[in-house]
Structure 1
């Protein structure tokens, strides 16, 4: 059955209170598929489903749900149920993500009902970190061995620790002070069973992140060194957690969505199923700014009535000037924002990038302005003012838009403001207004 058929079948079974058949249907689904199903059901139907799941599956499903649907669902449940049915069966990083969404009072209530005191303590510690740092994203579940252990002792301890974990990516080696010293290669456990100490076979100086490292930098570490997990250390080098690739992929997706929405002129994160009010408030600010920009443009054009009277054909090229400037500026800013995001570009090299962009703009501006001049030459003749003013204006607008589209995001990045703001309406509106000013001024000078 496809998704729609499963959803219709589940709704029908829930209406009939047929728990057995609902449970049988859910047994064949992955937690992510059940979560997707719960996202589309109303809260009471989702609650009916959760009561039929075993605790581990219920916890996995909750993690996979959309934030808004999950919040609505958790608001109906008492803190004790959330703690004992969900949090007790989650890794600490997932539990922190769930608890962080709630107010402080409910957080404290949930933490008081967690049976594993050590897990509750780890969650409390993780909640102290900024959610946009490695400390806020890491989990504490990992296999850790001491560099001075013998191989038999190491194997015994690894088996004990592995029983409490779903996945094992790396085995980390620490010293007596819990400082990260290396990674224990599992292959060595088979090929070198007679080696006396772990420190003799471990890989020293592993790639790691600090608790205050930004998530974007953690993503770059994983991508650059092809890792599936990154150990996290505190200010004195003690191993405090690890971040897995699945954790950062969620963050990468969310960041990409935020950047795309900023570039599209949305002032906050929105989903297709959000309320009308939320979608309106997310879109309206930039639309109002665009409206003000349009009014500014009309005021500029209104001051050149006499010029339009002399050269009525000028109006034909207003969309060309404004559209070209907006497109060029958006292209330039998008390239810069992408470079800043993947660290292939540094905001400290602003002038170097501006010079490079200016050279590219010079080539593009020359080609575009020459093509338009040839078109106008054929249409209006060599002595027509518009033949010259449109081409010169296009050349100036492309040069300005390229440099402006490069300078703005790099400046925003140096000011610690998300440069993705510069790839959207901000660039288009600014270039449109400047383009009109340039076009009108050059036409007046040539008249």
Structure 2
């Protein structure tokens, strides 16, 4: 959002000009209003919300930064949160908002919701783990019975649809509320009015259970290219649906978590988090890196006589360490990405290792050959460095490629996030092993 617009809004707020502020906000998308509010103080944000109608205010609140939203809601009484926001939200958004509060605050807010059915749905959804399909689903959807006639079905669809903002699919259930199929909207026009829903529905729709991990739900959306997916309980009863917008947010959060983990951050942090939180997130891997560096210095310290005899060997220490780290990170990143999108399965470890072995062999040959030619021209064929650096590079590239492939697939088998293998862990390990190989090969050739 442009700074000029933000400054104009701030000026109007300072002047308490509600009418002008309302005019500027009119027509803005809730996401743009949320972006604006993220740039304002809490008092300024409160003034903005006073100028919005209830539905727009609720939609904008959903789009706000989570930390800023929590701070804002902490200033408001429970009754205001319930009647100003929750009453105008879908159940999945309401659950996401209310989950941030403690149980006492949740009960207090829920007691002020006027729609008892909505309050009951929110209470039911709060019981599910937030990392499962049940924790992300909403209960707003159009549902018809398989035994209804077409006229009866159309009448019910109209009544249910009036209360919904969006209709993605029409779900078909039996008399026991078990999911049976999806009713294609095209059939409303082409099917005879005497037909029953079960004769025109699409049977066996893609669905997930309430306890399905949300990561698997994201993969289903990507695999089947659907706008929404129904959620069923342990006996197949339809209990809700997850829409693509909720999955997009979860996919983004997963990507951010993996990126931060691969970058050596031990917890989820934002740029505006406190110094203490950012420090605690960064320090663990930095300490591990420090230990790795000390280990390297101890290894190199045992080869004083080798460096005295061949001082030029020290010039290639950064090359050996850097190449090993880069190759290992590349290999692990490809595997982690494949595991994430299901193009690689942990049971295919040996197949993937074999493929990586061929790639590593080609890369190692080219890199070591280029370095050999350089050292041959610079030091001559008789110099130890001419051979030891090239052979060491070949060995390091081979090891780093295989290690970078093997580690994330092993972590996946043990249900540990493989993204950890793309970060400092691989780089530090390859650095230490690389130095050991370099020094060992040099000693053997001396």
- Aligned: 1:443 with 2:442: yes
Q: What CA distance in whole angstroms lies between the structure 1 residues aligned with 2:394 and 2:198?
A: 65
Which residue pairs with 1:327 in the alignment? 326
Which residue pairs with 2:90 in the alignment? 91
- Aligned: 1:9 with 2:11: no
User: SS of the residue aligned with 1:182?
Assistant: strand
- Scaled by the length of structure 2, the TM-score of the pair is 0.98
**Unpaired runs of at least 5, structure 2:** none
Which residue pairs with 1:76 in the alignment? 75
How far the C-alpha of 1:195 sits from its partner, in A, is 3.5
User: SS of the residue aligned with 1:258?
Assistant: helix
- Aligned: 1:159 with 2:158: yes
Q: What CA distance in whole angstroms lies between the structure 2 residues aligned with 1:375 and 1:277?
A: 48
- Scaled by the length of structure 1, the TM-score of the pair is 0.98
Which residue pairs with 2:279 in the alignment? 280
User: SS of the residue aligned with 1:230?
Assistant: strand
User: SS of the residue aligned with 1:136?
Assistant: coil
1:254-282 deviations in Å (ceiling 9; x for gaps) = 10011111111111112222222222222
Which residue pairs with 2:141 in the alignment? 142
Which residue pairs with 1:362 in the alignment? 361
Q: What CA distance in whole angstroms lies between the structure 2 residues aligned with 1:183 and 1:193?
A: 18
Which residue pairs with 2:394 in the alignment? 395
Q: What CA distance in whole angstroms lies between the structure 2 residues aligned with 1:285 and 1:103?
A: 30
Which residue pairs with 2:46 in the alignment? 47
Question: 267-276 vs 55-64, which deviates more?
Answer: 267-276
Q: What CA distance in whole angstroms lies between the structure 2 residues aligned with 1:73 and 1:9?
A: 22
Tell me the matched-pair count.
446
How far the C-alpha of 1:238 sits from its partner, in A, is 0.5
User: SS of the residue aligned with 2:316?
Assistant: helix
Q: What CA distance in whole angstroms lies between the structure 1 residues aligned with 2:59 and 2:192?
A: 37
How far the C-alpha of 1:194 sits from its partner, in A, is 2.1
- Aligned: 1:235 with 2:234: yes
Q: Structure 2 matches for 1:68-217, cutoff 5 A?
A: 68-217=67-216
Q: What CA distance in whole angstroms lies between the structure 2 residues aligned with 1:382 and 1:39?
A: 65
Which residue pairs with 1:404 in the alignment? 403
Q: What CA distance in whole angstroms lies between the structure 2 residues aligned with 1:437 and 1:113?
A: 67
How far the C-alpha of 1:52 sits from its partner, in A, is 1.5
Which residue pairs with 2:417 in the alignment? 418
Q: What CA distance in whole angstroms lies between the structure 1 residues aligned with 2:79 and 2:220?
A: 39
Which residue pairs with 1:22 in the alignment? 21
Question: 308-317 vs 295-304, which deviates more?
Answer: 295-304
How far the C-alpha of 1:348 sits from its partner, in A, is 1.6
User: SS of the residue aligned with 2:171?
Assistant: strand
Q: What CA distance in whole angstroms lies between the structure 1 residues aligned with 2:192 and 2:41?
A: 56
User: SS of the residue aligned with 1:213?
Assistant: coil
**Unpaired runs of at least 5, structure 1:** none
Which residue pairs with 1:343 in the alignment? 342
1:221-274 deviations in Å (ceiling 9; x for gaps) = 222222101011111110010011111000001100111111111111122222
Q: What CA distance in whole angstroms lies between the structure 2 residues aligned with 1:444 and 1:36?
A: 61
Which residue pairs with 2:289 in the alignment? 290
Q: What CA distance in whole angstroms lies between the structure 1 residues aligned with 2:277 and 2:7?
A: 29
1:166-225 deviations in Å (ceiling 9; x for gaps) = 000000000000000111111110112423211111111111111111222212222222
How far the C-alpha of 1:71 sits from its partner, in A, is 0.8
User: SS of the residue aligned with 1:355?
Assistant: helix
1:9-53 deviations in Å (ceiling 9; x for gaps) = 111111111111111111131100110011111111111111111
- Aligned: 1:67 with 2:85: no
* Conservation of the 8 A alpha-carbon contact between 2:149 and 2:193: no
